[in-house]
Structure 1
């Protein structure tokens, strides 16, 4: 069987560059961005927002990736990869389970990648705890309302756009 790469896609800095400017003031160290992530494998992009979504790579509402990180390789056929994504979408990553701090797109990307290739998001990237670091900063309490607004928007993201009901998948 052929080995297929599994890539972590850093689709969008959700702050549009603002994290780089104010990050050092807020948490006392440089911040590259606050990332939305997805997983790309076999030409499909898998992400969590309004449930688990599957679309053609690069066609999510988050746009073209700003960065890609190879996580590992898989031999799993497309139907098994899709079944794993759908199972996650019916258990831990349902639309109502979205939480910007504890159960977001990055947690999905980590879990899904771990299941399909045995490698999740490396801890060294800081992606999995980026929101916790922000909230634990001196300015964290003042940022909570902004994060709450972001949660409702991002928690409703589907392949159709933001604030759309239900996860969508290509035919």
Structure 2
């Protein structure tokens, strides 16, 4: 059993919160990048499926998984053909799409709508 966390980063470094309303007429809290932390590993989608460690602005508890790490690694291997660098799309198929799939697989839960919208 392993805890599953969603790490949330603001790619704008706070500028979206400060400048979105005067520039666009709409308040945007942040430009969200997410990763999943499970089995002591931080995994995300960018130029393919990658692992790293960073300092998120938020950590969201997504529950625990009963799935063994070996099965999770097989799942990631299966995803690699779908989550390639060439298929990345800033608005339609991105890191948040990836974390939604992974969190769903691991826990059956969804990531927050404020991230996916």
User: Do both share a fold (TM > 0.5)?
Assistant: yes
Residue 71 of structure 1 corresponds to 62
TM-score, normalisation: structure 1: 0.63
| Post-superposition offset of 1:71 | 1.1
Find the aligned partners of 1:34 and 1:27 in 2 and give their Cα distance.
Answer: 16
Aligned residue pair count: 116
- 1:36 equivalent to 2:26? Answer no
Alignment of 1:11-90 (within 5 A): 12-25=9-22, 26-29=24-27, 31-55=28-52, 58=53, 63-90=54-81
- Which whole-Å CA distance do the structure 1 matches of 2:60 and 2:92 have between them? 22
Give 1:97-116 correspondences, 5 Å limit: 97-116=87-106
User: Which 4+ stretches in 1 moved above 6 angstroms?
Assistant: none
In structure 1, the partner of 2:115 is 127
Contact residue 72 and residue 118 of structure 1 kept, 8 A: no
Q: Does 1:4 align with 2:2?
A: yes
Q: Tell me how far 1:17 sits from its aligned partner.
A: 1.0
**Would you tell me which structure has more strand in proportion to its own residues?**
2
Deviation at 1:74, TM superposition (A): 0.3
Contact 1:52–1:86 (Cα < 8 Å) also in 2: no
| Shift, 1:27, TM fit | 4.3
Unaligned 5+ residue runs, structure 1? 130-171
Change (3 A) 1:114 1:21: same
Unaligned runs of 5+ in 2: none
User: Structure 1 residues 54, 83: CA separation in 2 closer, same or farther (over 3 Å shift)?
Assistant: farther
Partner of 2:79: helix, strand, or coil?
helix
Structure with max Cα Rg:
1
Q: What is the RMSD of the two structures over their aligned residues, measured on CA atoms?
A: 1.4
